[in-house]
Amino acid sequence: MTDRKETHAVEGNNLLNEERRRAILEMMQHDGRVLVVDLAKRFSTSQVTIRKDLEILHVRGLIQRTHGGALPSRGGALEDPTLREKEKLHRKEKLLVAAAAARLVSEGQVVILDSGTTTTEIARALRNFQNLTIVTNAVNIAAELANSSLEVILTGGTVRKNSFSLVGPIAEETLRRLSADILFLGVDGFDVHYGLSTPNLQEAKVNRVMVEIAKRTVATCDSSKFGRRSLSLIIEPSALHHVITDRGIPKADLQALKRAGIEVTLV
């Protein structure tokens, strides 16, 4: 028969475990990801204990386990979160990616900005230029740059409410009449073997036309996008010239990109 004190100790430990796991979920919601090393220090416990916590949260479907940490639960390939939801995630990384992207741009160029939160930050980083033409299918990006000195071309098309992007035949036809120096392409999924993907079929079609008319295609995304596949393939990795991401990218993915001859900038 179990001693009463021992029972109370077990119950107390279980309670502490659940409190720690709730705190991990709150950190995940705030930071967009968590690392085992950081959590062990934060809660003054072993990495083995933290890994067990993450496994339990993973089994419950609350997080997605990764090497060395965890990401928010991804949902399915059809998941298409709103722009406002995406803005809350990986804010610091997006700002660093945007700053690095702006350094690739020169005065007098034509720049295509795909819709998305990272490309919105790139638009903000380009506001200080004096002589740029920005081509975009994102209504919010056009509005962001409307009172700047930059020339802005909005493609036209059908508005997608989730992303404030313009898609469909009108958007595609407008793009086919243009040519650009560089395209900054944001993605929802980046599998280094499969390619870059997005949940929306029409968005993928517009993105492919952007790639066709740009001399240089640069994928801009935080490292949480790696290892993910969304519904619709945009392009294979071989169509890329450059990738800008943060240092959280899995080492195997980084090596695969470099082996493929793709330039990678880590921020």
Distance from C-alpha of 257 to C-alpha of 261, rounded to nearest angstrom: 7
Question: Which among 175, 172, 204 is positioned nearest to 188, based on CA atoms?
Answer: 204
pLDDT digits (tens, 9 = 90+) for 84-120: 545 555 678 999 999 999 999 999 999 999 999 999 9
Q: What is the pLDDT of residue 75?
A: 52
> Which of the residue ranges 27-31, 149-153, 163-167, 256-260 would you say has the lowest mean pLDDT?
27-31
The pLDDT value recorded for residue 66 is: 80
Residue 5, pLDDT score: 43
pLDDT tens digit string along 137-180? 999 999 999 999 999 999 999 999 877 899 999 999 999 999 99
Of 31-35, 105-109, 206-210, 261-265, which range is least confident? 31-35
Q: Domains of the chain by range and CATH?
A: 4-72 (1.10.10.10), 83-266 (3.40.50.1360)
Calculate the CA 16 to chain-centre distance.
33
Residue 203's Cβ-side half-sphere holds a number of Cα atoms within 13 Å equal to 25
Distance CA(206)–CA(145), nearest Å, equals: 21
Q: How far apart are CA 184 and CA 105, in angstroms?
A: 10
Residue 206: how many CB atoms within 10 A of its CB? 26
